[in-house]
Amino acid sequence: MKDAYSLILTAIEAGTYRPGDRLVESELAERFGVSRTPVREALQRLETQAMLVRDGRSLIVASLDHNQLAELYTVRAELEALAARLAARHATPEEVRVLAQMLDEDQKCVRNPEALARANKRFHHQIHLASHNRYLVQQLDLVHRSMALMARTSLAAEGRSETALVEHRRIVEAIAAGDGAAADSALRRHISMAWETRLKLEAQADHD
């Protein structure tokens, strides 16, 4: 069974609790069927990790401003590209086949942005694992945890689902070919396009 920290973090990642939502100790304890002490400790840990922030006496799910998003995407691009480069060097044939199978499965989610967002996370995590570098995987886990603070997925933008899957295929092809430079380049372009899409979504939201 998951501990209180994992339960709350998973709920944030799933969008059950979104940026700006207030987290109440007693409500969380009741929701997850745990006592208040581990919930209190979990909330303190999440606050230390900047996943939660204080609003008076309350704790709310943090949100990311434009500069924080820009910084996050910059770090993500560097680390993800490194993972792809290492995966091209170290991925086993089995890991490459799993990535290819994911591409086929993810096509079924192309009309469902939320499902595709979950599939996208699994896909990227599989590349992280294929890098065979535990320290890199740990750092990327932190980056992707912070990405849970985004109010919506960039895959919801019109046409982005289809282009993202094309980009995924190019990444897998480069990894399968053992071409680290191509894998690095394809992953960087993928993150760049995701950031550009998010900027457009932000601009549209501000205009609306």
- Residue-wise pLDDT for 133-172, tens only, equals 999 999 999 898 888 888 667 776 777 888 999 999 999 9
Fold of 4-61: Arc Repressor Mutant, subunit A (1.10.10)
Q: What is the pTM of this model?
A: 0.84
Q: What is the pLDDT of residues 26-60, one digit of tens each?
A: 999 999 999 999 999 999 999 998 899 998 888 99
Report phi then psi at 143, rounded to 5: -60, -45
Tell me what percent of the chain is helix, strand and coil, each rounded to the nearest 5.
75, 5, 20
Nearest Cα neighbor of 64 from 202, 196, 156, 164 is 202
- The domain defined by 66-207 carries CATH number 3.40.50.2300: no
How does pLDDT run across 63-92, given as a tens digit for each residue?
A: 888 899 999 999 999 999 999 999 999 999
Please give the mean pLDDT across all residues of the chain.
Answer: 91
Q: Residue 174 and residue 171: Cα distance in Å, rounded?
A: 5
Q: What angle do CA 53, 55, 60 make, to 5 degrees?
A: 50
Domain boundaries, the chain: 4-61, 66-207
